[in-house]
Structure 1
Amino acid sequence: MSKNSTFSQPFDVLWRTALVKLPRAVPSQALYLTSPEGPQPIILKLRSRGKHEIPLYIFIPYAIEPSQADKLPVVIDFHGGGFFQGSCLEQAPFCSKMARDLSAVVISVDYRMGPMDTFPAALEDAEDVLSAVLHESNRGYAQIRNADSAPIVKSLPQIDIFNLDRSRIAISGFSSGGNLALNLGMSCTDPVTGASWPSVFPDDYSSPIPLILYYPAVDLRQLPSERTKPPNLPVSSPFWSDVNDKLAPTYLPREKASHPRASPGLIDVRKGLHPMARIQLVLSGLDDLLDQNEIWTQKVRDAGRGDDLVVEKYDDMQHGWTQMPDQMLSRNDRKTKEDAYDKTVNWARSIWDGIGGTGKAG
């Protein structure tokens, strides 16, 4: 993985990047409008393997004190945005609901993206966060602050502020974040080095692993404009299509797009999917990622893992509708968003309670 210099980028990349990064400048106080029920996040910075800091938005169930809490389940969440845009703020409604309804600590990861960082930077950040949750030995120190206050530096073990239940860890991701979430549940061989690239979840991890995948990008070999469009999908703006095609390769160069960690849908499901993985796949019918998700769904079933897969498809919804603020959605769209989130809560609870998924590997 290499890091790019801002000044090394051509101007046509720089102005497009500035345009798509504008939403990241929205202050965290906006969450009181977009996610009024809360809880609102605290921000913690985790020291990574590369010694940089990974910002984590931590959603803590109401009325939980660190010294009083029973062991709490954990949801590690990844936002979407094609690996060049998006932020944890758009995940707040989902993350706060998971915290409230599952009494879980939810960690939304602000992973590295293009054009400043390149593949596999985002995946390395995802692996580092999961490793920190799984292993007490992976402790550093963090800077923690409330979303509405000045930073306060404390010598706190970075993840073990709360008593986490390492037998109840769910991974969620939306679009490109779904790519990361799926990656964390799979192992493969690096085609470049021939070395094993295992899942951070060890082979002997014996608890079910809920993988919550909302319209994930599982195959990145095509640029956004090259993907198969459903017949009823509204025609996209040529301007935004050009922006997406120009910026996507700043994170994932075209020659690396077929790497199994860049396109986890290419990994052999029978060999690569963790035996304890349980998958909820939430799909949009009006989505240029639908085709690749349906192909991957069939691969899972052909590999004998169909009993570990639940598919929820919303035929009339477009890609990313669940990440839109309620104020921008119609009443019907808000209802489908609530329905999807409720199904995710119920499904994750059933997995942790040992009800959903059989574990049959076929």
Structure 2
Amino acid sequence: MTDTTPALDPALDPELAALLGFLAEAGYPPMWEQSAADARVGFRALTVDLRDPGLLPEMLEVRAATIAGPERDIPARVYRPRPGELPTLVFFHGGGWVVGDLDTHDLTCRTLARDCEAVVVSVDYRLAPEHRFPAAVDDAEAAARWVAEHATDPAAGLGGSPVVAVGGDSAGGNLAAVVAQTLRDEGRTLAGQLLLYPATDLVTAHPSLAENAEGYFLDAPTISWFLEQYVGDADPADPRLSPARGDLRGVTPAVVAVAQFDPLRDAGTAYAGLLEAAGVPVTLRAYPGLIHGFADMGRFSRAAQAAVDEIGALFRRLLHP
């Protein structure tokens, strides 16, 4: 029998290479061969079930919340790291707009709350294919507006400071970038946008899509499957799907993080360049040896944890100038 497993680049972080080997031996079927419901169960197994609860950053308070949305109340989770007035970060989880939830990104939100010294509001937006575009965008925009309007309201239990930011990873980074443009158009001021390996252009076939098409956690068939579930009959060049196609002038400053062995690497890098060309202050960090999803992999990789530490420090400076 011929081994068809792709050879991994020796520049890959060895601890992440070991993680990828473990996942390969576990025999999880690829997402694109599953139903959305089964893929969600599998993603939770990879994130929630492999997590040591004892290693979660402690919070002063973690509580459930609901936000009025366009079609339903939007579930959310609020993380407060310490007492006192703090900025509020609205966070949108990744998962290709198809998988992921409040639990799968619990570690990421706790880490950002601690490292950025901010109250984090994690948003459980509607998922595809049950709710295709623009459902996720509509929910994300509604949540960000609500936080912007209630950040200083004691009854809302948010940060208490008027400083509000948005952020997300992967598909959540896409939503954060879209929301930053929408709130700019509405005259609302944000302190920053944190874009972790974001999906910013659903049209352009950047070289990293082919270079990292298989073997590095997120692969090309899964990306195609995500887009089939989410985009439907919509035009992928719509700026609410591809924020790189929007007007970036005057959007909030950004921290953009990309990984060497990520199919989305070049799209994120290009977006940072577009922001800079539009006169937007932007900090780009390109992390060698890392893969898509590294924000949740610090417990497996010291290099991933170092990247997470740096990202938190960089974004903290935007929230606490």
Q: Which residue of 1 aligns with 2:235?
A: 256
Q: How far is 1:183 from its partner?
A: 1.1
Q: Deviation per CA, 1:316-360, whole angstroms, max 9, x where unpaired?
A: 11111222362xx2xxxx322222222233222322333xxxxxx
Contact 1:269 1:299 in 2 (8 A): yes
Q: How far is 1:114 from its partner?
A: 0.5
Is residue 2:291 matched to residue 1:318?
Answer: yes
Residues 198-213 of structure 1 aligned to structure 2 (within 5 Å): 198-199=182-183, 202-203=186-187, 205=189, 209-213=191-195
What's the RMSD between the two structures over aligned residues?
Answer: 3.3
Helix, strand or coil: the match of 1:55? Answer: strand
Q: 1:298 aligns with which of 270, 273, 285?
A: 273
Q: How far is 1:296 from its partner?
A: 2.2
- Specify every segment of 5 or more residues in structure 1 that has no aligned partner in the other structure, as ranges: 1-11, 65-69, 140-155, 187-197, 355-362
Q: Which residue of 2 aligns with 1:96?
A: 110
Q: Which residue of 2 aligns with 1:5?
A: none
Contact 1:78 1:180 in 2 (8 A): yes
Contact 1:31 1:89 in 2 (8 A): no
Q: Deviation per CA, 1:162-193, whole angstroms, max 9, x where unpaired?
A: 45212x2121110110001111211xxxxxxx
Helix, strand or coil: the match of 2:237? Answer: coil
Is residue 2:81 matched to residue 1:61?
Answer: yes
Q: Which residue of 2 aligns with 1:351?
A: 318
Quick one: structure 1 residues 82 and 106, their matched pair in 2 at CA, closer, same or farther if it must change by over 3 Å? same
| Partner Cα distance (1:232, 1:221) in 2 | 17
Helix, strand or coil: the match of 1:209? Answer: coil
TM-score, normalised with respect to structure 1: 0.69
In terms of mean alpha carbon deviation, does 252-261 or 17-26 score higher? 17-26
Report the structure number with the largest CA radius of gyration: 1
Q: How far is 1:288 from its partner?
A: 1.1
Q: Which residue of 1 aligns with 2:64?
A: 43
Q: Which residue of 2 aligns with 1:114?
A: 128
| Partner Cα distance (2:134, 2:227) in 1 | 13
TM-score, normalised with respect to structure 2: 0.77
Quick one: structure 1 residues 183 and 244, their matched pair in 2 at CA, closer, same or farther if it must change by over 3 Å? closer
Q: Deviation per CA, 1:80-103, whole angstroms, max 9, x where unpaired?
A: 111111222232222112223344
> Which residue identity is paired with 2:178?
N
Q: How far is 1:252 from its partner?
A: 0.8
- Specify every segment of 5 or more residues in structure 2 that has no aligned partner in the other structure, as ranges: 1-30
| Partner Cα distance (2:222, 2:287) in 1 | 27
Aligned residues: 287
Is residue 2:145 matched to residue 1:125?
Answer: no
